[in-house]
A and B are shown apart, each in its own frame.
Chain A
Amino acid sequence: MSIDTYIDEITAATRNRPDYLLQNLYEIQYQYSYVSDQAIKLLAEKLALSESFIVGVIGFYSFLHTTPRGRFDILISDSITDHMLGSRGLLDTLCNKLGVALGQPRADGRVTVDTTSCTGMCEQGPAMLVNGWTVTRLDQNRIEQIVELIEADTAVEEWPQEFLTVDDNIQRRDILLSDNSNAGDALKALIEQGDEAILQQIESSGLRGRGGAGFRTGMKWRFCKQADADQHYVVCNADEGEPGTFKDRVLLNSYADKVFEGMTLCAGIIGATKGYVYLRAEYRYLRAPLEQVLRKRRETGLLGTDILGKQGFNFDIEIHMGAGAYICGEESSLIESLEGKRGIPRIRPPFPVTHGYLNKPTVVNNVETFMAAALIAVHGANWFGSVGTEESSGTKLLSISGDCERPGIYEYPFGASMQHILQDCGATDAQAVQVAGAAGATLPAAEFNRCIAFEDVATGGSFMVFNQHRDMLDMVRNFAHFFVHESCGFCTPCRVGCSLMKDLVDKVYTGHAGQYDLDEMHKIGELMLKSSHCGLGTTAPNPMLDTLNKFPQIYNERLKHSSYEPSFDLDAALQDARDITGRDDAGAHIGTES
């Protein structure tokens, strides 16, 4: 098929709507391995957008490219938990065996190898994506087989099934994961009791957002319901990008019906007829199964028009794909991305509940929140509030990875102590736990008596364990590099701050930093907290500030004793000039006795 015809087809399927630009680009990327100038020109005509706008969108998302990638486009997950499982060594092996340089297509165009941010396979890593499909449990043996498959030009669809298998790894179930209600139960309750009664149940249950921020779900739905507009929207945030979290992956794999039920419930209450699941591109393998669940719900009257026979209860759900951008987990960036734009966070207020998707009142909730809401409708507020703490009712799904015997998904009532959790997962030698991901908090053993709850240790679910043998600066470095990659670049404190922080952490790591540099990290970190535009910038310095405070030895043991050290190797900076001139006299070197 010619590219003209292809683009005709995909844009026609989305009715030439410019807000579907990102969805079109995603398709083109996987069809051609890049978005060519010609494709940009054709899209610009079809969608009535400028070419520069489209180029801007492509540039924003890590998984979109304007130059060809290899036919096998491999991305090794670069999360700290993958590192701990040996991903860096495997990456080197893969590059050597395939004869490719990192990020550069091989001369024959067959393959590229690169790294990517956390792919959400932390408990079954090291992991990689190949043409968007997830491969788990990499080891030397598997890497060698993958090299053979690629050299034999075997399509990914024909690779051994066990390579592409993603397990749920549920280790502990509580009220959510052991619930045995049926599809449609929550919607029946809604129809029987009326939307006001159910909304009151959700309000009195004390349910708070499970993405991490903990905003009261009932209040959010109430605000949105009260916002006057001709259309309301329900959006499920399945952009699970926080390093170390993978619980939404499991919910979407095995509990999708309940998540969709929660979205439909929300739609019935706020008066929405359209919903979107914003699915991170790393979970491409989940898309087809999710579409299947949606089809089944349509067939059984749980989606579509007159849901469960109730006149005028119309709602349907569409899946939109992300394209590799951590910031799109922030709700206003997510909405921008849903509208097909660069995922730059909006200025708030106004909040999405009044001005969200297409500027209409929109509820954006986490996957787990929708599921919990559905079950509250079925079992009532008291059932939900019977577990948890005063400020944090119900349970929380934790994604546990790192140094423990039994990594996986653990559902705990809020209030569970860190100590207890560590025992359960078989972490006998923990030095620290990184809770809530790269943007979260580093807890040393002295704080293991604390509890998982909004009023104590708040988390969206990421729980990474580090044993006594780990160098915590490896983690800090990994996160510092992560934030440089993921900063959207809109505001200076975050864009520049993340880079400065990374340089300083690297300087400490390589043994070139002095006390002055640590003071700079404090200063820059405080400035980022105070002045960044959104939550990414205000949390990005956390790993440095937290460890400077709680793990000072990882910095101090590497410090030079002088108060100031240059930020680069002075003598090495003359190397180009030495190479060009062939000089090697005294003047061609800078002594190190500074």
Chain B
Amino acid sequence: MAEKLKVATASLCGCFGCHMSILDIDERILDLVQVAEFDRSPITDIKTIGDCDIGIIEGGVANAENVEVLLEFRKHCKILIAMGACAINGGIPAMRNSFTLKECLEEAYVDGVGVDNPMIPQDKEIPMLLNKVHPIHEVVKVDHFLPGCPPSGDTIWTFLTELIEGKPIRFPYEQIHYD
């Protein structure tokens, strides 16, 4: 049997909804692991990434750690996929882009309702926030964009199976209409 494909996934500035959607492939995950094995991923809880065939990124780029993880993924993955609205265009977190970072932090940690001991955190353990939230293709080259908020389990399944089989990726209409 041929060597299995290696797949890594990560959620940057997202809500984990896309990862929940990956789980919505349900029992088909058993078929998937026949041909692929997961490397770094919340599914395996492996924290560092090795060389992989496919990297799947959920979420946009909002802080220094997101940048670091994303650059690592790009370095180690032959094919990198932006999955879901946040990875593709920043999504909901990018709504903060119409305010300055200072306004956002003050609203959350100083002026917000019910804030106790108001202060903006300065702990070195906390990843530094970028001025704006960016889609991932502004930081690294992206090979495929899989839209949806989130893409359904079926859409992810179609995408992965066709990608792995080396076919042109085509979706049935129901899998990519969002109205």
Tell me the A residues contacting B by CB distance below 8 Å.
516, 563-564, 566-568, 570, 573-583, 585, 587-590, 594
Contact = CB atoms under 8 A, between A and B. Distances in A.
A395 B114 CA distance: 77
A588 B68 CA distance: 12
Contact of A583 (B101, B128, B134, B140): B128
A585 B138 contact: no
Nearest to B140: A564
A581 B67 contact: no
Given A563-B141, A580-B105, A570 B127 contact: no
Nearest to B100: A576
Contacts of A587: 64, 124, 127-128
Given A576-B129, A587-B64, 20 more contacts: A516-B141, A564-B141, A567-B139, A568-B134, A568-B138, A573-B134, A574-B128, A574-B131, A575-B131, A577-B131, A580-B101, A580-B105, A582-B122, A583-B124, A587-B128, A588-B128, A589-B64, A590-B64, A590-B68, A594-B71
Closest 6 A/B residue pairs (Cβ)? A564-B141, A576-B101, A567-B138, A581-B122, A573-B130, A577-B128
B115 interface: no
Nearest to A593: B71
A588 B125 CA distance: 10
B127 to A, nearest CB: 7
Contact of B64 (A516, A574, A581, A594): A574
Contacts, number: 60
Contact of B139 (A570, A574, A578): A570
Contacts of A588: 64, 128
A362 to B, nearest CB: 40
**Binding site of B, secondary structure by majority: helix, strand, loop or mixed?**
mixed
B77 to A, nearest CB: 13
Contacts of A583: 122, 124, 128
14 contacts: A568-B134, A570-B139, A573-B134, A574-B128, A576-B131, A577-B128, A577-B129, A577-B131, A578-B128, A580-B101, A580-B102, A581-B122, A583-B122, A587-B128
Contacts of B122: 581-583
B140 A576 contact: no
Given A581-B122, A590-B64, A590-B67, A573 B131 contact: yes
B61 to A, nearest CB: 9
Contacts of A566: 138-140
B29 to A, nearest CB: 32
A576 B129 CA distance: 8
Contacts of B140: 564, 566
Interface string B131-144: 11010001111000
Nearest to B135: A567
A78 B49 CA distance: 50
Contacts of B102: 576, 579-580
B159 to A, nearest CB: 22
Nearest to B142: A564
Contacts of A575: 131
Contact of A573 (B68, B121, B127, B132): B132
Contacts of B129: 574, 576-577
Given A583-B128, A585-B124, A587-B128, A577 B101 contact: yes
Contacts of B127: 587
B120 interface: yes
A587 B67 CA distance: 12
Given A570-B67, A587-B64, A594-B71, A581 B120 contact: yes
Nearest to B129: A577
Interface of B: 64, 67-68, 71, 100-102, 105, 120-122, 124, 127-132, 134, 138-141
Contacts of A590: 64, 67-68
Contacts of A594: 71
Contacts of A589: 64
A464 to B, nearest CB: 34
A499 to B, nearest CB: 13
B79 to A, nearest CB: 14
Contacts of A574: 64, 128-131
A542 B68 CA distance: 38
Contacts of A516: 141
A148 to B, nearest CB: 39
A456 to B, nearest CB: 41
Max chain A Cβ within 10 angstroms of own Cβ: one of B67, B124, B128, B138: B128
B108 to A, nearest CB: 12
Max chain B Cβ within 10 angstroms of own Cβ: one of A516, A570, A577, A581: A577
Max chain B Cβ within 10 angstroms of own Cβ: one of A573, A574, A585, A587: A573
Contacts of B138: 566-568
A563 B74 CA distance: 13
A589 B132 CA distance: 15
Given A567-B138, A587-B64, A590-B67, A577 B130 contact: yes
Contacts of A570: 67, 139
A589 B67 CA distance: 11
A439 to B, nearest CB: 28
Nearest to B122: A581
B122 to A, nearest CB: 4
A503 to B, nearest CB: 10
Nearest to A586: B124
A576 B67 CA distance: 16
Nearest to B65: A587
B120 A580 contact: yes
Nearest to A594: B71
A581 B102 CA distance: 10
B75 to A, nearest CB: 9
Nearest to A563: B141
A582 B130 CA distance: 15
A575 B128 CA distance: 10
Contacts of A576: 100-102, 129, 131
A574 B140 CA distance: 18
Nearest to A516: B141
A594 B121 CA distance: 28
A569 to B, nearest CB: 10
Contacts of B134: 567-568, 573
A594 B71 CA distance: 7
A579 B71 CA distance: 25
B38 to A, nearest CB: 25
B66 to A, nearest CB: 10
A567 B124 CA distance: 27
